[in-house]
Structure 1
Amino acid sequence: MPITKYFTLPSSVKELALSPDSKLFIAFISSSDPITKQPWCPDVRDALPHINKAFAGDDAPELAIIEVGQKPEWSNPRNVYRTTWGTKNIPALVRYEQVNGKVTETGRLVEGEILNKKRLLNFIV
């Protein structure tokens, strides 16, 4: 499956469109610095190559990339990704699946956990 870099999140988890047997992974990352064109968060810069490699294969599950904003936006406790999507750390790689007919978060890796190749690959299986 492809990596979707311009994914539009619905207003809540329950509105994600998932078929019963599918998984959707969302990577919440920092936005790119307008000057450097790189993510402003060093942890995101470290994790992105691992995420991209893990989801590069034709048989890899679907991944959506969501940029949480520049540092001032992300630092705001009312940031929608903090309040609605439960993201307290970036990078965060979150798995969503249908459980008993409802779309539910079924797993999450954050920050340095994403750098552990074995843990990352086991997480996306």
Structure 2
Amino acid sequence: MPRAPKYCAGDPDCRELVPAGVRACPSHNSRWPTDGRTQRTTTPEHEAWRQLVLINAGHRCQIRYAGICTGDAGPGRGQADHIRAVAEGGLEFDPSNGQAACPECHQVKSSDEGHRAQGHHVPDRERLP
């Protein structure tokens, strides 16, 4: 006999029924909150901080993971990374809490931070001088 549907587990206020074996309705199927993340990084204040961080670094990657880094954090490619994540108390618009990053190093660093936040072991990565 099939199991009865249950309420969506993606949001405690959602009353949509989902089939047995499905965690959440289509509107709440992600475990990662995204509200505000995209908006936060598209503000004029964030863009000004980003530009200042990249200029201060001479558009060169400052993370510099061995075997990953391209070194290029130039215009149209460079990303600004918070040294101490805003979610962990880092100051959002303080240039001293920012470092320029090539997309490759930034992606790996962000992924490692996410895994650490979930309690997973992440090995230390070798950095280039």
Common topology (TM > 0.5): no
Larger radius of gyration: 2
TM-score range, shorter chain: under 0.3
User: RCO higher in 1 or 2 (8 Å CA, sep ≥ 6)?
Assistant: 1
Higher share in strand: 1
The normalised TM-score by structure 2 is 0.23
